[in-house]
Amino acid sequence: MEGSNKQSVDEPRQSSPAGLIIRQKEPTNLEMPFDKVDSYITPTELFYIRSHFPAPRIDVTDYQLRIKGAVRNPLALNYQELREMPSETRTATLECAGNSRVFLVPQVRGAQWELGAVGNAEWTGVPLRALLERAGLEDDACEVVLEGADRGTPAEEPIPPGPISYARSVPREKAIQPEVLIAYQMNGRHLSRDHGYPVRAIVPGHYGMASVKWLTRIQAVREPFQGYWQTSDYGYWDYLDGKPVRRALAEMKLKSVIARPRVYETLLPNRSYTVFGAAWAGETDVTEIAVSTDDGQTWAEAHFIDPARRHAWRRWKFDWLTPNQRGQYTLLARAKDANGTVQPDGHDPNFGTYVINHPLPIEVLVEDPSER
Ligand code: MTE
């Protein structure tokens, strides 16, 4: 091998995130230009990257995954041992809880994600529940804390007294579901370093913050975990007996997004144009999409391209005959799920700078450039 950089034999080449939009250079935060959605599975090089700290470099020969806390047999597995356990492959959509933040008016703090901090990939790994069974999860464990190898001091108040590692907990009921994976492959290849090489958690149906990358420790706990990304960040206001209480974000909310046309795209009058998008939900299925081309005054049904598969997005399309009348038109898409829930009309302020799942306006211009 040329060059002097030490690289473990197994470390994957970085997939090239060519064409992603930079939201933050370091740590790496990149989003997909959402109008590029073309396939059911998002190619790894187009999949958004959301990291709080610089990606750690982990040599797979030193890698250890420790499982401890409220378990009868604490254990440590090396990479090979993990690879030898029975594995599963599942398709799951990850969406960052702050996706589409740029649509909030007035502007709020945080990375100004447009539509593309979301992707749908195929993940391969060992079900977390198989590891918890092997370790003997105690009956009184209420949550499972997943901890990554990346460390640093968060920039947002309240700033912890020193560097901390990225950690999130998953409620016990979710942690033992078969879909929660301790994954080592994405789209049939080793994880890339930015996506968590060598091992990450995938918690389908929950916002992306639960899918801890560079996973090195799994700790079962008897008290709800109160870590930084559980309480200070990725929290929201709920109500208990009429009083506001903080809770940790978890399940993804129903959302449908228009990928094409793009904002302010110019379309020809009186032509057939196929509006295209994708929709996803947390622990249920998306069953209907309605599209409006007149800013919500009237709605018409769109058609699904993909079947309903729990935890994975469904692409959809809608054939629009563009109006004769030149001007600006606002397009919206609104999903309904199997429980009869529809997307809310506006952003719920109890979610702060997160959970932006109301129909997002895509303004387009209908005009004939030859008539300008
Ligand atoms: N895991 C670690 N260790 N560190 C992180 O900063 N970011 C989380 C999650 N897992 C993060 C992490 C967030 S906020 C999201 S949205 C997803 O990873 C993004 O996963 P991706 O970068 O593979 O798209």
Identify whether residues 183 and 48 lie together within a single domain: yes
Distance CA 93, CA 253 (A): 12
Distance CA 190, CA 192 (A): 6
* pLDDT for residue 6: 38
Identify whether residues 240 and 357 lie together within a single domain: no
Identify whether residues 261 and 234 lie together within a single domain: no
Identify whether residues 96 and 225 lie together within a single domain: yes
Residue pLDDT, tens place only, 235-279: 999 999 999 999 999 999 999 999 999 999 999 999 999 999 999
pTM of the model: 0.95
Residue 355 pLDDT more than 70?
yes
Q: Is 168 in the pocket of ligand 1 (CB under 6 A)?
A: no
Q: How confident is the model at residue 4 (pLDDT cuts 50, 70, 90)?
A: very low
Identify whether residues 339 and 212 lie together within a single domain: no
Q: Is 292 in the pocket of ligand 1 (CB under 6 A)?
A: no
Q: Is 58 in the pocket of ligand 1 (CB under 6 A)?
A: no
Which atom of ligand 1 sits closest to the CA of residue 95?
16
Our measurement of the distance from residue 86's CA atom to the centroid of its chain's CA atoms, rounded to an integer in Å, reads 25
Specify whether the backbone of 81 is left (phi greater than 0), alpha (psi in -120 to 50) or beta.
alpha
Identify whether residues 49 and 113 lie together within a single domain: yes
CA of 302 to the centre of ligand 1 (A): 32
In sequence order, the β-bridge partners of residue 310 are: none
- Residue 62, C-beta contacts closer than 8 angstroms, at least 6 positions apart: none
Torsion angle defined by CA atoms of residues 79, 81, 86 and 92, in that order, rounded to the nearest 10 degrees:
-20
Which atom of ligand 1 sits closest to the CA of residue 195?
23
* pLDDT for residue 371: 74
Q: Is 214 in the pocket of ligand 1 (CB under 6 A)?
A: yes
Residue where a domain stops, chosen among 187, 213, 248: 248
Residue pLDDT, tens place only, 68-93: 999 999 999 999 999 999 999 999 99
Given a contact cutoff of 8 angstroms between Cβ atoms, the answer to whether 37 and 217 are in contact is no
CATH number at residue 354: 2.60.40.650
Average pLDDT of every residue of the chain? 95
Identify whether residues 166 and 231 lie together within a single domain: yes
Distance CA 308, CA 315 (A): 10
Q: Is 94 in the pocket of ligand 1 (CB under 6 A)?
A: yes
Residue pLDDT, tens place only, 193-220: 999 999 999 999 999 999 999 999 999 9
Q: What residue numbers bound the domain in which 222 lies?
A: 4-248
Q: Is 187 in the pocket of ligand 1 (CB under 6 A)?
A: no
Residue pLDDT, tens place only, 294-322: 999 999 999 999 999 999 999 999 999 99
Q: How many domains does the chain have?
A: 2
CATH number at residue 183: 3.90.420.10
Residue where a domain stops, chosen among 218, 248, 278: 248
Residue 2 pLDDT more than 80?
no
Identify whether residues 35 and 126 lie together within a single domain: yes
Q: What is the mean pLDDT of residues 336-360?
A: 98
* CA-nearest residue, atom 7 of ligand 1: 51
Identify whether residues 227 and 276 lie together within a single domain: no
Q: What is the mean pLDDT of residues 15-26?
A: 86
Residue where a domain stops, chosen among 197, 231, 248: 248
Q: How confident is the model at residue 369 (pLDDT cuts 50, 70, 90)?
A: confident
Identify whether residues 198 and 101 lie together within a single domain: yes
Residue 5 pLDDT more than 90?
no
Identify whether residues 293 and 145 lie together within a single domain: no
CA of 30 to the centre of ligand 1 (A): 12
* CA-nearest residue, atom 13 of ligand 1: 209
Identify whether residues 293 and 243 lie together within a single domain: no
User: Under DSSP, is residue 193 helix (H, G, I), strand (E, B) or coil?
Assistant: helix
Residue pLDDT, tens place only, 143-189: 999 999 999 999 889 999 999 999 999 999 999 999 999 999 999 99
Given a contact cutoff of 8 angstroms between Cβ atoms, the answer to whether 192 and 44 are in contact is yes
